[in-house]
Amino acid sequence: MQKTTISLKRLVPGLIIGPASWLGPYIAMNSLFLPALLQHLDAANKVNLVALFSTCGMIVAAISNMVAGMLSDRTKSRFGKRAPWIIGGAFVFMLAMILASFATNIPYLLTAWMVGQAALNFIVAPMVAWIDFADKDSRGTASSAYGGLGMALGNNGFNVVGAMFLSQFRLGFIIFGIFTFIGTLVAVLIVHEPSNIDDTTEETAAPEKQKFSLKEITSVFPGWSTGRDYYLALIGKLFQGVGNFAITGYILYIMTDFLHRGSQTQSSIQLINTIMLIFGILMGFIAGPLSDKFKVLKWPVGLSTIFLAIGAITLFLLRDNTGIIIYAFMAGIGMGVWNSLDNLLNLEVIPDPDRVAFFLGVYNLGNTVTQAIAPVIAALVISVFGFSAIFIVSFIFSLIGGISMLCIRSVKR
């Protein structure tokens, strides 16, 4: 069967609006509103509670992401295989965040947050597979739209606005939850997936009988000899993600407890995210098209993590406005290049092209799972060495992530 393609005129706007609509609100809530609410509910245990929420979120995200990817790959509907799950996930996420805003105790908040984590991954796994709808020679542009522009807006643009709601964090949960649903719906309408009811590929064809043997279950993930480059990309994604989120996940506490910004906390967070947004968008505009033109992919992705490492060390050493600006500059370039091209690199090393949503979804757990792993690691090192240790963690993990990417063999450069 001929591969379904969608025009870049529809795909690119959807790949920008879509990830910005789910990632932006999630980043703002995860890095600002959730810590603020936890501090309000139990200030004495706030660091450990962030780690608890992150650990539980990691488990829920890992399971729901794989389930969402498999279901999406096997779905047949007049709205396509991705859209129904994306819309459903966005709606449940909105409801969960509205419920979280009314939390008056930790168990209630944890329950609502976990429901939101599960729903979020039913957006993520199918949506990133939209990149595969692009023509072969335009996938760099599509990947850049998703990661370089959409995720740059999500990672940094919303925190600028989110910082304004630090004193009204409960309202922030509601507003950003609603925005997720509306923005995601707009993206789905723009992309407008074609019907795949008549699709007769192996993944969507209903088998007469399904037997779930141990061999079938273990074959979900291929062996190292087959999936080596995919696993290296996944390792790189996870380590780079921890390196990034070890700092961004604790940015509020870094500003208040480490840099002692006091009344300048809000303006400092806005400054970092504004600079990162500008450079992230700039890289989003140029990284993908340049990759398509010069056929270079692995090296810019691998080397982009060096910028993150330099930024982390600089902030640790200077601890002033200059350090904040240099960190934002380095992280903006590094994350801009990374977000623009890492999904495309992963698409090139997927071991089974018939399970695009599943493998891309697992890979993109790096955007949610690493936000769960990083605070756990950060909480551990903070308790032993203090806040300064998370910058060393960021430096080391970022370098390991880059080295893993550079070890990929099937993509030459």
Going along the chain from its start, the domains and CATH numbers come out as 11-196+224-406 (1.20.1250.20)
pLDDT, tens digit (0-9, with 9 covering 90-100), for 139-172: 778 888 887 788 778 876 787 788 888 888 899 9
| Model pLDDT, residue 205 | 46
Using pLDDT thresholds of 50, 70 and 90, give the confidence band for residue 218. Answer: low
| Model pLDDT, residue 2 | 58
Higher pLDDT, 170 or 212: 170
- The DSSP symbol for 252 reads H
Largest Cα separation within the chain, whole Å, is 65
Q: With contact defined as beta carbons under 8 Å apart, do 85 and 75 qualify?
A: yes
In whole angstroms, give the CA distance from residue 83 to residue 77: 9
Report the C-alpha dihedral over residues 397, 400, 402, 408, rounded to 10 degrees. -140
| Model pLDDT, residue 296 | 83
SS3 334: helix
Q: How many CB atoms lie within 10 A of CB 155?
A: 28
SS3 3: coil
In whole angstroms, give the CA distance from residue 294 to residue 413: 10
pLDDT, tens digit (0-9, with 9 covering 90-100), for 24-51: 999 889 888 998 999 999 988 887 888 7
What is the 3-state secondary structure of 352-398?
CHHHHHHHHHHHHHHHCHHHHHHHHHHHHHHHHHCCCHHHHHHHHHH
> What is the average pLDDT across 224-237?
87
* Residue 247 scores a pLDDT above 70: yes
Among the ranges given (51-55, 223-227, 264-268, 299-303), the one the predictor scored with the smallest mean pLDDT: 223-227
Helix 106-128 to helix 356-363 angle (10° resolution) is: 130
Using pLDDT thresholds of 50, 70 and 90, give the confidence band for residue 359. Answer: confident
> What is the average pLDDT across 262-278?
83
For every residue of 192-232, DSSP letters joined together read -PPP-TT---TTTSPPS-----HHHHHTTS--HHHHHHHHH
> What is the average pLDDT across 259-278?
83
Higher pLDDT, 235 or 219: 235
SS3 76: coil
> What is the average pLDDT across 96-118?
95
Identify residue 60 by its one-letter amino acid code. Answer: V
Which residues are within 8 A (CB) of 8 and not within 5 positions of it... i.e. 6 or more apart?
134, 135, 138, 141, 142
Mean per-residue pLDDT over the chain, rounded: 84
| Model pLDDT, residue 94 | 97
| Model pLDDT, residue 111 | 96
